[in-house]
Amino acid sequence: MTDLTGAAAGLRALPPSCGPVRLIAVDGHAGSGKSTFAGRLAAALDGAPVLRLDDLASHEELFAWTERLMQRIIEPLARGATAHYEAYDWTLRRFTEPRELPAAPVVLIEGVGAGRRALRPYLARLHWMDRGAEESWERGRRRDGPGLSTFWDGWTTAETRHFSADPSRPFADALVRELLEGYVMLPGPVSTAMHDQTITHGDQFRPPY
């Protein structure tokens, strides 16, 4: 799949999941390519708005942003209203500039934990970037450089803890694999289970990472 036109058309055809909005999540390990994929998918959706969870998280709350997300983002969108939130500045270490997220027909939410348990009831589709944890983290470390190695050490521990308690991949509708050019989307565990109509005991408890 060298472009995402077909995928975008499929998302537009989904029923709304959060008020009038089709909320589409892009989850995966840090460094797995979520931001790039979400940006390209948004472009294929003629500029669909994207919420980046890095703007809601902070140094003190790497994953404890559920309440902020529900109050500032989900509740307004569910009413068909524009959401307003302050974006976190990772250099200044504080929330700064206010931003808006309109209740567009399709809204993307990308970041580690975008498919978390509390958010899934509001999602029209959950995409999982299908790149392993170690490979993703190594890509992220190379991208950010040695100056953030201490942060990455703490992050990988926190991410592992998060996905152990609240995994996303088993609930993904689609697995996204990055190619040299473009992407390929495979049926996710949820889509496969619905197609097969059966899930074995082993499938339910197979470690997803």
pLDDT of res. 97: 83
pTM exceeds cut of 0.85: yes
Residue pair 33/131 in contact (Cβ under 8 Å)? The answer is yes
Which residues sit opposite 185 in a β-bridge? 176
Q: If we measure between CA atoms, which residue out of 66, 49, 48 comes closest to residue 57? A: 66
pLDDT of res. 142: 96
Residue pair 73/25 in contact (Cβ under 8 Å)? The answer is no
User: At a CB cut-off of 8 Å and minimum separation 6, what does 17 contact?
Assistant: 23, 122, 123, 124
Chain centre distance of CA 115? 6
pLDDT in tens, 160-205: 999 999 999 999 999 999 998 899 999 999 887 765 544 333 333 3
pLDDT of res. 196: 55
Tell me which residues of the chain have a pLDDT lower than 50: 197-209
